[in-house]
A and B are shown apart, each in its own frame.
Chain A
């Protein structure tokens, strides 16, 4: 009952937005492999800026979740949406990376944001997704 009330009143989460520090963000890129050997790169798309900023929240949840199974399911769903737009693709490789933001000093020295590989998932129409590649413990 308490959980229900908290949701109804909008008070089920804490109020530490961007606290204690501002976290980094994540990027998800799909490698589309066609039967003729072509490879294209695609990112999931939405139609408006409002939805785009909300989509970033989804990527943050995919990157931060403690549950590997949930991460895999979410990436798979996004892969399916990309597949719907590219029906002739043979396999899709989803690569999730975390974005490292430069400090002010680093930015002044010419350094820009960089990406660190986190996970990759391979999907094909017939096969279940294989175990993800995990480069290191997080």
Chain B
């Protein structure tokens, strides 16, 4: 039993999933930074912003004093005579740089840690403005920075760097897969408890609720008979995800349907970052298995260690 569990958690694994996760999170962090470039300082400033960052961080301290926050960097900057606005701008530039670093695979480990740290700081210091996409980005970056980087398609690999602790490649892949199963099961189960996901009214409300109402309700109302079917389909897809995504026979259809659902959320509700991160996590978790007809496992025992 113990042996089977260890085989399940630490199977020999290709690093294709890690490439997808790294590049996907690179795109996500780059878009995240660019989307907030005009509001970054306004949303995260200590006293001159929309919501005082000190209040958000004080509330965060009630839960834990050790969660990273931008206030730490601002305090450090004050000690050496650097203004808050400059520190915040520097954090934004570093986050964008980390996103680009992940995208091309340059200094993978450092870029992953920097992206995780700065994104977490921004999400926590601006917690009143954070939403689901930020949580999922943190989850993805957390697993990425712990995984054995670099992967074979990164620039680091081309420069001769090789990962250490290859045995954890399969482990972190499994953790990501299991985590997604937990997420979808509870998301679908909670939806199934609401009558609105049976009669389609929740879908209607989600689509006409500002600021997600980018499709004219006059157009939506013509498809009213589809809402109950779509509502039930969504929670059934989610709640049954842990059952059907593991089987090679049903994985393909479940993965395509879940990714299509997130793409539809992105297009119809304007939640592009949320759609992107969910598709990235899904494709990284189950995409390589889906693409592999025969489970050809690559033994990536380090021939030469570096990094």
Q: What is the number of residues of chain A that contact chain B, defined by CB distance less than 8 Å? A: 48
- B residues 57-75 near A (Cβ < 8 Å) are 60, 63-64, 66-68
Say yes or no: is A108 at the interface (Cβ < 8 Å to chain B): yes
- Within 84-120 of A, Cβ neighbours of B (below 8 Å) are at 99, 101-104, 107-108, 113
Q: Are A51 and B51 in contact (CB under 8 A)?
A: no
Judging by beta carbons under 8 Å apart, are A4 and B129 in contact? no
Q: Does A8 have its Cβ within 8 Å of any Cβ on chain B? A: yes
A25 contacts across to B, CB distance below 8 A = 209-210
Whether A18 and B270, one on each chain, are in contact in the complex, defined by CB atoms closer than 8 angstroms, is no
Q: In angstroms, how far is the closest chain A Cβ from the Cβ of B191? A: 4
Q: How far is it, in angstroms, between the C-alpha of A31 and the C-alpha of B168 when the chains are bound?
A: 58
Per-position 1/0 for A33-60, Cβ under 8 A of B: 0000000000010111111111111100
Considering the complex, which residues of chain B in the window 193-214 have a beta carbon less than 8 Å from any beta carbon of chain A?
193-197, 200-206, 208-212
Q: Are B197 and A19 in touch, CB under 8 angstroms? A: yes
The answer for the CA separation of A52 and B210 in the assembled complex, in Å, is 10
| Residue count of chain B within 8 Å CB distance of chain A | 66
Interface residues of B in 151-199 (CB under 8 A from A): 182-184, 186-187, 190-197
Which of B13-21, B31-39, B99-107, B242-250 lies at the interface with chain A?
Answer: B31-39
**Please, what's the 1-or-0 string for A55-80, where 1 marks a CB less than 8 Å from any CB in chain B?**
11110010000000000011001100
A81 & B187 in contact (Cβ 8 Å cutoff): no
The reply to whether B224 and A104 contact each other, CB–CB distance below 8 Å, is yes
Out of B55, B60, B205, which one reaches A22, CB within 8 Å? B205
Contact (Cβ within 8 A) B202 A21: yes
Query: How many angstroms between the C-alpha atoms of A54 and B212 in the bound complex?
Result: 11
Task: State the total of A-B contacts with C-beta under 8 angstroms.
Answer: 159
**Could you tell me if B221 and A54 are in contact, using CB atoms closer than 8 angstroms?**
no
**Contact indicator A16/B210 (Cβ below 8 Å):** no
Report chain B residues within 8 Å CB of A20: 190-194, 196-197
The segment from B84-92, B136-144, B298-306 that touches chain A is: B136-144
Whether A7 sits at the interface, judged by CB under 8 Å, is: yes
Contact A57 B129 (CB under 8 A): yes
Given A8-B120, A10-B138, A101-B208: A50 in contact with B36 (beta carbons within 8 A): yes
- A47 and B42 form a contact (CB under 8 A): yes
Contact flag A9-B204 (CB < 8 Å), given A4-B64, A19-B187, A77-B51: no
Q: How distant is A116 from chain B, measured CB to nearest CB, in Å?
A: 15
Q: Which residues of A contact B217 (CB under 8 A)?
A: 107
A134 to B: closest C-beta gap in Å: 22
B270 near A15 with CB under 8 A, answer: no
Bound: A4/B67 CA distance, A: 6
Asked if A3 is an interface residue, CB under 8 A from chain B, the answer is yes
* Inter-chain contact A53/B205, CB cutoff 8 Å: no
The answer to the question of A13 belonging to the interface, with a C-beta cut-off of 8 Å to chain B, is yes
For A48, the chain B residues whose CB sits under 8 A away are 35-39
Known: A19-B190, A24-B209. A54 touches B131 (CB 8 A): yes
- The docked-state distance in angstroms from the alpha carbon of A101 to that of B37 is 32
Q: A7-B63, A104-B227 are in contact. Are A15 and B186 (CB under 8 A)?
A: yes
- Enumerate chain A residues within 8 angstroms of B203, measured Cβ to Cβ: 22
B187 touching A8, Cβ below 8 Å: no
Query: Could you tell me if B186 and A104 are in contact, using CB atoms closer than 8 angstroms?
Result: no
Shortest B173–chain A CB gap in Å is 16
Residues of A that sit less than 8 Å from B by CB: 3-4, 7-22, 24-25, 44, 46-58, 61, 73-74, 77-78, 81, 99, 101-104, 107-108, 113
Q: List 7 A-B contacts (CB under 8 A).
A: A7-B63, A10-B135, A15-B190, A22-B205, A22-B209, A47-B42, A50-B35
Chain B interfacial positions (CB closer than 8 Å to A): 35-39, 42-43, 49-52, 55, 60, 63-64, 66-68, 120, 124, 126, 128-132, 134-139, 141-142, 182-184, 186-187, 190-197, 200-206, 208-212, 217, 221, 224, 227, 270-271, 273
Question: 9 more A-B contacts (CB under 8 A) besides A10-B141, A47-B38?
Answer: A10-B120, A16-B187, A19-B191, A46-B39, A51-B36, A56-B210, A57-B128, A58-B51, A58-B128
